[in-house]
Amino acid sequence: MNIVDISNRRYTTKRYDKNKHVSKEELEQLLTVLRNSPSSVNSQPWHFVVVNNQTSQDKILPAIVDFNHARVTDSSYTIIFCIKSSLDDAYLSHISETEIKDGRFTDPKIAKSMDDDRRYFVGVNRETTERLHRWESCQLYIALGQLLFAAASIDLDTTAIEGFDPAKMDEILSLKEKGLQSVVIATVGHKAENDSNAKRPKSRLPKKEIFTFI
């Protein structure tokens, strides 16, 4: 696997082939990547709603802006990336207990130190709700990047979508009642032959403009 080749061929899909489907095995690989995504102090402040576009797409379409409808209806899956409305003490304890159960920390002192560090960083970032949600969203976009690259590595095509109404999506999926808020969406499928974006060369600023070596 050559990561440069994957990076060069990955692009934002504009048109999907609705007759080509992502297999359950491929989806499971992507979900594992999302689950394994890194987050600050292993806070994992996320939840992912996976929509099977063949059966449930109509439910979420009212929250999607019109020009993105086809990217939902023609792809195989839509994944809605959500942050948690709050990171309370019970949730932080749950993470710590899970780490111990998984054998991540066998020394109680180290486990306690990790728990203290996590509570410190979460505490710093939850001084206001707005600051907490901004910090959580930063973690969520790390997971999004992981998904986009992982999908390209197994020849799947994706589109990251911010063109939707988060408040409407939250209402449709009753996310508020579940302590969640939608932030960004990704569709996964196979590109259509007439996807013009697939034929365009990449355009990025030159290295000398974006890298500084010191």
Give the tens place of pLDDT for each residue, 188-204.
Answer: 999 999 999 999 999 99
pLDDT at 148: 98
pLDDT at 203: 95
Q: Give the residue ranges of the chain where pLDDT is below 70.
A: none
pLDDT at 35: 98
Report the predicted TM-score, pTM, of the whole model to 2 decimal places.
0.95
Q: Scanning the structure block, which residue is given the tokens 């709700």?
A: 129
pLDDT at 54: 82
First to last CA, the chain: 30
pLDDT at 155: 97
